[in-house]
Amino acid sequence: MLLLAQTGHGTLRRQLRESIRDAIRGGRLPPGSRLPSSRALATDLGVSRGVVVDAYAQLIAEGFLVSRKGSGTVVAETGVYLPDHDPEVHDTVERHRTSEIDLRPGPPDLATFPRSAWAKTTRDILRSVADAELGYTPPWGVGGLREQLSAYLARVRGVMTKPASVVVVTGATQGITLLVRVLYAAGVGDIAVEAPSNPVQRQVLGRYGVRVWDVPVDREGMVVDVLARTPCRAVIVTPGHQYPSGVVMSATRRGALTRWADRVDGLVIEDDYDTVFRYDKMQVGAVQALSPARVALVGSVSKSLAPGLRLGWVVCPPDLVSDLRTAKRDDDFGTGVLEQHVLARLIDTGEYDRHVRRLRRHYRKRRDTIVEALEREVPTAAAEGYAAGLHLLLRLPDDVVEEEYVAAAEAQGVAVLGTASMYGTLPPRPGVVIGYGRTSPTMLEEAARRLGAAAEVMGQEQRSRSAREGQLAAPRRPSTAVDYF
């Protein structure tokens, strides 16, 4: 029987989450174990059903639990993870406790994990791998995987590297963290980020006392002219699929970015976020190919396979390899050896490529569904940045208060992620990020209908306020400012 954590600290929801986490980590709830229904557990514990529903939702988001149709809620079998690019999972679950449809960006559709291919390859590896290869291996990765990643990234992303420059990490967040640690130790105390960008980047930089500079993004990507006016010698960018705008950095800006790095003797940290899922155009090459000595490319299989595998990589400039390997060794003893061998074999046999092609078809259908539904149901907003990835940016009218729209959507049972916190020190523009990867087309249609209802409710309230004040809303004027995101 599950019990509330006897710490006396935090809400009942937090205590229940801690109890379930501890039970899973301690083996009392093994993988595949079925948990009681939310109603039954609430009765057993003497708490409201909402407490249990929220605890289950948080743990599903973190990867401890999975919800299966017909089977209820069970303990995940693919391992436990914390989100690589999605800090909002922890920060906003409490605020969305009533949401029936969660459209915040997060994990992919975990039902797409290639279980058969992974299981078969694992058996093949166990039959053929030498005993010594299952022992302690270099913390920076198994040689076979680094070789395969080097060849794969050269083929699909145009990356120029050698296996010796590839460091295997537990995900993009660890990769960026290790690079920041190396830079800070070398005296780099000012680092730029895109505005808007993922707040986790500012969190990582803040841990080291680095001064963060927010650089705006426009239709061509990060505005390098603004970057050049900062004292920074390092920058974190997502040029292949900017988060959250979805913009692809133009060739002109890419050239300007690498020239800036040469001029300041700096480093570009290229987060290869979601570039594997490109639907409408040819794959875009990595900036790293333009300047291998100035760009470190960071990527992972968290979206293409499963975040619970904890597999990612950093392709770093040759003069940083030694320091990055040392940082990785100091951080942990390396990523799971068996998982590295399996991924290497999947890449080598072409199975990983086939899997990615299937995923593109799978997610393209969901992308098309949500875009068409939003255009129909929320005509006052504009869907942007959906040529790739597993999310889109829904740009709200300038006179809409973003926080109010997020709350209105929540009242309709839909959780979306506002962008205000992504701008750092720059003035935000109203918008919400919608993740569609793990939601079925049917539920995406329903979500769009509810988002339209939320917009209509807000419109009615705004008209009522204007009427009470005896004045009409001021007409919107076209902006003469630079079109930043």
CATH label of the domain that carries residue 54: 1.10.10.10
Residue 154 lies in a domain: yes
Please report the pLDDT score of residue 17 as a whole number: 84
Write out the two tokens for 313.
């990589």
Tell me which of 349, 368, 399 is where a domain ends: 349
Same domain, 75 and 142: no
Amino acid at position 211, single letter? R
* Structural domain boundaries, residue 338: 131-349
Same domain, 30 and 137: no
Contact 2, 23 (CB under 8 A): yes
Please report the pLDDT score of residue 4 as a whole number: 61
Measured between alpha carbons, how far is 378 from 455 in angstroms, rounded to an integer?
A: 7
Residue 104 lies in a domain: no
Tell me which of 349, 368, 387 is where a domain ends: 349
Same domain, 67 and 203: no
Residue written as token pair 């209908």: 449
Residue 174 lies in a domain: yes
What sign does the dihedral 23-28-34-38 (CA atoms) show?
negative
Between strands 211-218 and 190-195, the pairing is: parallel
Q: 196: cis peptide before it, omega within 30°? A: yes
Q: Is 426 left (phi over 0), alpha (psi -120 to 50) or beta?
A: beta
Please report the pLDDT score of residue 1 as a whole number: 53
Residue 368 lies in a domain: no
User: Does an H or E element contain 329, and which?
Assistant: helix 321-331
Residue 485 lies in a domain: no
Same domain, 185 and 37: no
Residue 399 lies in a domain: no
Residue 410 lies in a domain: no
**DSSP assigned state of 33:** P
Measured between alpha carbons, how far is 410 from 415 in angstroms, rounded to an integer?
A: 5
In this prediction the pTM is 0.78
Same domain, 71 and 146: no
Same domain, 209 and 287: yes
What sign does the dihedral 324-329-331-334 (CA atoms) show?
positive
Residue 33 lies in a domain: yes
Same domain, 237 and 140: yes
- Digitized pLDDT (tens) for each residue of the chain, 485 residues in all: 566 654 444 577 778 888 898 888 777 788 888 899 888 888 888 888 878 887 887 787 667 888 776 778 888 864 433 344 544 443 444 444 446 899 999 889 999 999 999 999 999 999 999 998 888 899 999 999 999 999 999 999 999 999 999 999 999 999 999 999 999 999 999 999 999 999 889 888 988 889 999 999 999 999 999 999 999 999 999 999 999 999 999 999 999 999 999 999 999 999 998 899 999 877 789 999 999 999 999 999 999 999 999 999 999 999 999 999 999 999 888 889 999 999 999 999 999 999 999 999 999 999 999 999 999 999 999 999 999 999 999 999 999 999 999 999 999 999 999 999 999 999 999 999 999 999 999 999 999 999 999 999 887 776 666 666 665 444 443 443 456 77
* Number of alpha helices (DSSP H) and beta strands (DSSP E) in the chain: 15, 16
Contact 312, 302 (CB under 8 A): yes
Same domain, 167 and 313: yes
Same domain, 195 and 66: no
Tell me, what CATH number does 208's domain have?
A: 3.40.640.10
Q: 307: cis peptide before it, omega within 30°? A: no
Between strands 65-68 and 166-169, the pairing is: unpaired
315-317-318 Cα angle (round to 5): 110
Residue 432's DSSP bridge partners are 394, 418
> Total domain count for the chain?
2
**DSSP assigned state of 381:** S
